Amino acid sequence: MTRKRPGLPARSLSAERFLELSHIAVAPSESSHRNIYDSLRAAGLRRRIALQVPHFTVTPQILQRTDWMVTLPRRVAQAFNQHGQFTVYPLPVKIPEVEVTVHWHESFDK
């Protein structure tokens, strides 16, 4: 996912173009982010990391102000793109499905 702007294709990115762009990396401490990271590396895709963040929830605000991109689970990217300000691309390689986890404080269980 990246901010919509002139000069980018509308539907898909080649692996070469994907690697040319600077990326936000979500710290791979959780299993789903580690799976994405490992799968891209196994496919020979070594992204140019501009910034590493601890969680993907901050990425829309960063993308709105940069030309960077981020690799997220598709449903998360679609939720972030409710107003259409981003372009959501499929990855240029197939990777295994990843499990997305949700964290909350126990006080929200009441």
What would the pLDDT profile of 8-46 be if each residue is shown by its tens digit?
988 899 999 999 999 999 886 656 667 777 888 888 888
Which among 97, 17, 94 has a CA at the least distance from the CA of 2? 17
What pairing do the DSSP bridges indicate for beta strands 86-87 and 2-3?
Answer: antiparallel
* pLDDT exceeds cutoff 80 at 54: yes
Type of residue at 7:
G
Which residues, at least 6 apart from 76, have a Cβ–Cβ distance to it below 8 Å? 56, 100
> What is the pLDDT, as a whole number, of residue 33?
64
Identify which has the larger pLDDT, 104 or 56: 56
* pLDDT exceeds cutoff 70 at 98: no
| pLDDT tens string 55-79 | 889 999 999 999 999 998 888 899 9
Residues 8 and 54: their CA atoms lie apart, in Å, by: 27
> What is the pLDDT, as a whole number, of residue 32?
62
> What is the pLDDT, as a whole number, of residue 39?
82
* pLDDT exceeds cutoff 70 at 100: no
For residue 69, give Cα distances in angstroms to 11, 31, 89, 93: 15, 21, 10, 16
Residues 17 and 12: their CA atoms lie apart, in Å, by: 10
Token pair of 19, please? Answer: 């690697």
